[in-house]
Chains A and B, each alone.
Chain A
């Protein structure tokens, strides 16, 4: 458990450090180092879990099992690569006069604050603390959405704050109901511990748990960006600084889904019905289709990709809702590949917007001619997210389709339709942006595309072959979630 404590300590030190630092020139680099140490801690944690299996800390406050261990490493990895991207990017924004030193301090401090909240959501064993940390993530990011202090960004941040705050309050009501069901069978202080609840799930009152799950799904679903609770998401993504969009899409949405799946495991154990699954399937499918359709109407490049996030989160929610070993396995894989691809895309999009000096897609032209690395990065990223082979997104989407065909054959039709619509929606916008002549006077910017290449290479690797330790974790997690093995 030492690495988990270390992880939380580092990020906590990070918040305080950036709050009071005087090294204003090197904050970007220092942020990279903080995240590098965090990644080191998570890898250490992962090796421990690999060698000894599930780890439960002394007072059962923290739990790391095969379901969350890879998400923890993924969080730290994307946190690191995004911080590598963010250092020169934020420097550039400062040169453009959009930011001051003090706001950069706030940015880096809250970057660590957000990472702390994410690690806490993932490692905690207490459903109540999970809620507190999830709300903490909103609070940490809300001032980052309005970092540029433009009227639009303040509007987006207000919307984000109110919608997510009210939404997540529903999840707290769900948690209270869960606790209410739990104190009827056990003692008070341990009654919110997930490991205890899971062990005694079949004794929990099914009526109460059903109502609780509805609230938990709506609450955390607001954070996942499930339609119709998604309104904050495109605004927050498009108006905040780009590194924030990358971590919001890559990490926050995943972790909210993680919370829902953890809750679903309890409810399934208690009710022995498919109620939770059906709810997730319908919300997921709706989000998937609406997200795909809205791709066509976007003008802003970051809004475009935030709708793509809604679409993919919908697909994952659907997959976990279908349940069964194959769909769950696919859902876990899709969480990984989507995070990697989407954060890579947002990094490229950030550079593309700096090249063109705007986020409006009709003004972004000729990226390949101006700066081939950015143009190709965006194109390959889009190909990957649209679900083309040989990238990992193809593998996971294919598995979802396969599982759906097996369990609910009719639902394959809307899924295929959605994938087609999304593909068209993405490419009608991306094609003219990357190809074609460059506008006069468009200059390349200083860009570090190492994170993008690294992410896309990993997604490619996952599409071709899943390394055995990861496959092992995925199948263990699948057994844990769905009760049967995928292999």
Chain B
């Protein structure tokens, strides 16, 4: 597969896939929460652009609505909410010491290889472009999970959670040219409600353990200590 021989739309999609994957790696190694949130917003912006390009090239108008929804939710509302939370709790001065950073980054790289391995069988029936798009989506999801595992702050967990959604969204846009409208609206609604609930939870967690470090949420055990 030679990228110059592809049409314009495919080239854009492939570049976007690469950039979205890159932002996931940048988030993974980020110990400062404000930068983490910024990278998340950048990832959201890339998704918005991908959606808009897809809407334009495929002449599919309902994708414009998706693009606007993504812009409003993932680039503006959620990063704004998380940023406020960070500033309110004075977490922006701390740099989270990430344990085993090298191992985490290497793990991230192997997850990406793993995604390609898992999805490789579909190459028999479709174009290699699709494999790239789907494999990047899957690895963005897996990297989101790794981000949640390697970070301790509840805010980083929310960023990881939402970046998993980003991976899914990318797959839906690129591989299937967007889900049916009703499903897409439903998903956007769920994301919105989830974001609001996370906001409520930050408040509860802070009033309960006076911190947003989820490692301190350790009262429930299988057996008594």
Contacts and interface: CB of A to CB of B under 8 A. Distances in A.
Interface of A: 126, 128-129, 131-133, 135-136, 139, 142-143, 146, 149-152, 154-159, 161-162, 165-166, 169-170, 172-173, 176-177, 179-180, 183-184, 188-189, 191-192, 205, 207-208, 210-211, 235, 238-239, 294, 297, 299
The 5 A-B residue pairs whose C-beta atoms are closest, nearest first, are A128-B183, A132-B186, A155-B217, A207-B121, A151-B208
B109 interface: no
A166 B148 contact: yes
B38 interface: no
A299 B145 contact: no
B1 interface: no
Contacts of A143: 197, 200
Given A165-B161, A172-B187, A192 B180 contact: yes
B212 to A, nearest CB: 11
Contacts of A146: 201, 204
B76 interface: no
Given A143-B200, A151-B219, A183-B176, A162 B161 contact: yes
Given A132-B187, A166-B145, A155 B219 contact: yes
Given A180-B175, A299-B223, A126 B180 contact: yes
B103 interface: no
**SS of A interface (majority):** helix
Contacts of A211: 118-119, 121-122
B157 A162 contact: yes
Given A151-B208, A211-B121, A158 B217 contact: yes
Interface in B202-225: 204-205, 208-209, 214, 217-220, 222-224
A173 B220 contact: no
Contacts of A151: 208-209, 219
Contacts, number: 132
B197 A169 contact: no
Interface centre among B141, B145, B168, B208 (most CB of A within 10 A): B208
Interface of B: 118-119, 121-122, 124-126, 134, 137-138, 141, 145, 148, 154, 157, 161, 164-165, 167-168, 171-172, 175-177, 179-183, 186-187, 189-190, 193-194, 197-198, 200-201, 204-205, 208-209, 214, 217-220, 222-224
Contacts of A176: 168, 171-172, 175-176, 179
Given A162-B157, A173-B138, A299 B224 contact: yes
Contact of A136 (B126, B148, B190): B190
A73 B202 CA distance: 38
Contacts of A179: 172, 176, 179
A158 B125 contact: no
Given A142-B197, A176-B171, A188-B177, A132 B220 contact: no
Given A151-B209, A166-B145, A169-B165, 20 more contacts: A128-B183, A132-B186, A133-B186, A136-B193, A139-B190, A142-B197, A151-B208, A152-B220, A155-B217, A155-B220, A158-B154, A162-B161, A169-B168, A172-B168, A176-B171, A184-B125, A189-B181, A211-B118, A211-B121, A238-B220
Given A149-B204, A208-B122, A211-B118, A165 B176 contact: no
A165 B145 CA distance: 11
Given A132-B186, A166-B164, A179-B176, A152 B197 contact: no
B21 to A, nearest CB: 16
A316 to B, nearest CB: 24
A170 B224 CA distance: 33
Nearest to B185: A132
Contacts of B186: 128-129, 132-133
A180 B179 CA distance: 9
A133 B183 CA distance: 10
A389 to B, nearest CB: 33
